[in-house]
Chain A
Amino acid sequence: MRELRDLARRLLEEGSVQTVLGWEEGPRGARPVFVRRPEEAERLIFDPRCVHNLAAYLSPRRPHLKGLGRIAICVKPCDAKAVAGLIRETQVARDQVVLIGLRCGGVLPDPEGRETLSGETVADRCRGCPDREPRLADHVVGTAAEGFPGPSRRQQKVEELLALSPDDRWRFWQQELARCVRCHACRQVCPLCFCEQCIADKTRPRWVESSAHGRGNLAWHISRAMHLAGRCVDCGECERVCPGGIPLGLLTRRVAKTVGERFGWRPSDDPAVPSPVGTWRPEDPQEFIL
């Protein structure tokens, strides 16, 4: 933690960045913080409660951040993949952002978590995660940590759902999606949902019904998962912020499974790795072409 605070202070003092984006201790656990002055660097923390993917703040669609000058952002390995996604899709220029990579052994499911990190308490998405430190980083700080072996329960749940009959699967999702109130928190927190105008807000034509009932909910969540095909970095933020507790990660995982199997794609923190959307290779499977 000392290392992180010293680095943040130094970056602010020498003026190479004007803002350091990290986490601090809040009244209800860890929370994001914007550090603007060198002396405030002491507020920064990093521990397993720092679950938030701060890359969402880099989106150019957040105009209030434009006045914060050059930003240094603290990233866990999964967060770095989101930043790489933003660079890949020309939302952020690599030279406009400083990445402070944090060595990570997994986080808790909740920023308020009081448990110590163990195989039992670690967030489900971190189970089996092979990445211990981001490669897309200007600085890497923190102590080396060991991860927890997989498979994740979420992956198991995806397989279980796939084993169900379509009717049973349909019933499961109807029950889950019935709790959606269309607050769109899943969209707002997602670092890769950066459209100027979301398809859910379009009115001519109205692609997605806006009221919170089964049909519109289904259309919205399927659209969201499909729009993240080959882009989702599995940071789990959508699922964490859902006030209805809908297991949204199952949808994105399901899509990621197909993209991975068919196109050999895994979320990468290298912006030069081409996105599977719009990448064509002669060996791509095409048995669906009649």
Chain B
Amino acid sequence: MARIGVFVCHCGENIGRTVDCARVAEALRDLPGVVHSVDYKYMCSDPGQQMVKQAIAEKGLTGVVVAACSPHMHEKTFRRAASGAGLNPFLCEMANIREHCSWIHEDREMATAKAIDIARTLVEKVKRNRPLKTIQIPVTRRALVIGGGIAGIQAALDIADGGREVVLVEKEPSIGGHMSQLSETFPTLDCSQCILTPRMVEVYQHPRIRLYAYSEVESVQGYIGNFRVTIRRKARSVDEDKCNGCGACTQACPNRKVPSEFECGLGKRPAIYVPFPQAVPNLPTIDRSRCLLFLNRAKGRPDTCKKCAEACSKGAIDFDQQDRLVTEEVGAIVVATGYQVYSIGKETGRDDLHGYGEYGYGTLPDVIDGLQFERLASASGPTAGRILRPSDGKEPKRVVFLQCIGSRDPAKGMEYCSKICCMYVAKHTMLYKHKVHDGQATVFYMDIRAAGKGYDEFTRRAIEEEGARYIRGRVSRIWRDGEVLKVQGFDTLSGRPILMDADLVVLATAVRPQPGIEALAQKLNVSYDRHGFINEAHPKLRPVETSTAGVFVAGACQAPRDIPDSVAMASATASKVLGLFASEMLEREPTVAVVNDALCAGCFHCERVCPYGAVEHREVRNRAGQVVRVVAYVNPGVCQGCGTCQATCPSKSVELQGFTDDQVYQQIQALGL
């Protein structure tokens, strides 16, 4: 016979203001099976929890219903309290009369009636709850980090320094990411490469980090603690074990006119190349789309050019190298794939992004983007750190910077703020002033968003001490007039149109996730927003977890992030991963689907609909050991308890523990509809 206790919480005024909690407690007291029903100001407080424990002990309760806030808030609190009093924690349920009732209603009478209904359904449910045991699953204590930018590097180093092995996968030939391209960093103006390259070297030398550069994640199977990841190691056409990184091959390559990705197209590289001098690993890669030998092979012609192979004293060049697939077992995955900048008018697969053609990006050589300006300002860049405009190599005396190109513009671009542009434009004006003393930097801005330690001081310094001219307004058109660029815009503070001459225009283009992020997210089963940014599990309380347990997110693939944010996020993921790896076994909630072997007809609709791949085939044998039937089996380690299988099963042979058909059916019945 059920002996249910009901505990109604006022949540201070949160519930008490709109719901007559005493009446709720009184109404539930009369329900069959309810032997105890009380209300209290703060059930989650220590005295409140004591009331629950005491009632369990004194009245021998077989089930507890706490009518209070969302189970997201305090289910754990009360289950722990119930457990402390000797009751199986899964015999304690929350009736949400706050988010589902008091917060959204005004009429006290009706809200009270609804609160009684909500609590009553839970009483009927808890009568049918069964004691459940948490699930223990083993953990492979190694991590995979996807992306070798600053976020991925930081996450890998933190996890490895914490004593666990890390597999770091980077799709480009070298780790370093966008940070390696930057000249100096805000708000301190320290050299980006100077602070990054020691970390890169540390990754390379770390005994617990296995680096797969020029590799991509092919597929992911498994679940938290037990992922099986297949990694495609793309063919570099260079034998890593033989190459000593002397660079003779890159010197010998006759095709030296390939636009360099690292220099954002402002410089050239050979077809066999190391992206930049401090690359890690320091291994050349043949770009097969540009190599004369491979171009000839594609046309069915014989191999003619083998200059790199001839120059190599180690015999490391391997034109016949194939992609290789390697498999790694890991227990956690950190996604840190970073960003790209909005490449005005050249987006692939996004028809809706077509804005800002009027600025002449791609057609006017002296209209460049922010990343290109970083390369111009960088001492290791194509101009050796001198600000020279691409068209004629002259030093520009008037540089115009345009902010929010694609950002904060739902009509032509993305509605979100790209966050980093206000700061890096201020930095650009300073770098420019430091290199061209008689130059004038002008910035067109919408707002200056400089929230962060030392950030506002930094932008003020650009304006007040470094002479940058800030104009609040937007530019409508840019065109070429002889050697100068004409910039037409509007100053919204003075209300006047502006037409000015410029020698160089820099567009602060929006931050977007890397291409292919959707495909990767689908492999990992994590959700992403319509821009492709990976969704965090909770925007405030679980900022580095994703919708899939064991997969974490760091850096600019989650939202536009600057370097300090990316590093902080990366360290946060590392602490989450190390926490997960703290014990050999992992405890999981038993809210998972269970198949009734006797009733399962083995149609495997459940297998097809399961978004987590949790359904397996299980053979049922007779006493002689012969297979008599094949039925579905839900792997409790993989199951996330979404209930899709339960909804699909035509014979209702699979049920979610804690949410069985019987329980939910009785909840509905309790409403007397």
Contact = CB atoms under 8 A, between A and B. Distances in A.
Interface string A176-205: 000000000000000000111111001011
Given A91-B601, A205-B661, A277 B609 contact: yes
Interface string A271-285: 000110111000000
A196 B601 CA distance: 5
Contact of A196 (B653, B662, B665, B666): B653
Given A91-B601, A198-B651, A277-B605, 8 more contacts: A89-B604, A195-B650, A202-B652, A204-B662, A205-B661, A207-B652, A207-B665, A278-B648
Contacts of A207: 652, 661, 665
Contacts of A279: 608
A227 interface: yes
Contacts of A90: 602-604, 630
Given A90-B630, A204-B662, A197 B599 contact: yes
A277 B602 CA distance: 14
A278 B651 contact: no
A147 B666 CA distance: 52
28 contacts: A60-B629, A61-B601, A89-B603, A89-B604, A89-B605, A91-B601, A194-B601, A195-B650, A195-B651, A195-B653, A196-B600, A196-B601, A197-B651, A197-B653, A198-B651, A199-B650, A199-B652, A204-B662, A205-B662, A205-B666, A207-B652, A207-B665, A227-B650, A275-B608, A277-B605, A278-B605, A278-B608, A278-B648
Interface in B631-673: 648, 650-653, 661-662, 665-666
B311 to A, nearest CB: 47
B624 interface: no
A66 to B, nearest CB: 10
Nearest to B665: A205
Contacts of B601: 61, 91, 194-196
B609 A196 contact: no
Leading 10 A-B pairs by shortest Cβ distance? A278-B608, A205-B665, A195-B651, A89-B603, A278-B609, A227-B650, A196-B599, A195-B601, A196-B601, A197-B599
Contacts of B600: 196
Contacts of A205: 661-662, 665-666
B541 interface: no
Interface in A68-115: 89-91
B75 interface: no
Nearest to A227: B650
B263 interface: no
Interface in B586-619: 598-609
In which size bucket is the chain B interface? 20 to 34
A204 B665 CA distance: 9
Contacts of B651: 195-199
A131 to B, nearest CB: 24
A194 B599 CA distance: 11
B646 to A, nearest CB: 13
Interface string B522-555: 0000000000000000000000000000000000
A202 B652 CA distance: 9
Interface of A: 60-61, 89-91, 194-199, 202, 204-205, 207, 227, 274-275, 277-279
A196 B596 CA distance: 11
A90 B600 CA distance: 12
Contacts of A278: 605-609, 648
Which of A60, A61, A90, A275 gathers the greatest number of chain B CB atoms within 10 Å? A90
Given A277-B605, A277-B608, A278-B609, A196 B630 contact: no
Interface in B569-601: 598-601
B53 to A, nearest CB: 32
A277 B644 CA distance: 12
Contacts of A274: 608
Given A90-B630, A204-B662, A196 B598 contact: yes
B308 to A, nearest CB: 42
A227 B606 CA distance: 14
A207 B668 CA distance: 12
Which of A61, A204, A279 gathers the greatest number of chain B CB atoms within 10 Å? A204
Contacts of B609: 277-278
Nearest to A198: B651
Contacts of A60: 629
A227 B647 CA distance: 11
Contacts of B598: 196
B159 to A, nearest CB: 34
Nearest to A279: B608
A64 B285 CA distance: 67
Nearest to A229: B650
Contacts of A275: 605, 608
A204 B599 CA distance: 14
Contacts of B666: 205
B118 to A, nearest CB: 20
Which of B603, B607, B609, B630 gathers the greatest number of chain A CB atoms within 10 Å? B603
Contacts of B650: 195, 199, 227
A55 B656 CA distance: 33
B242 to A, nearest CB: 43
A202 B666 CA distance: 15
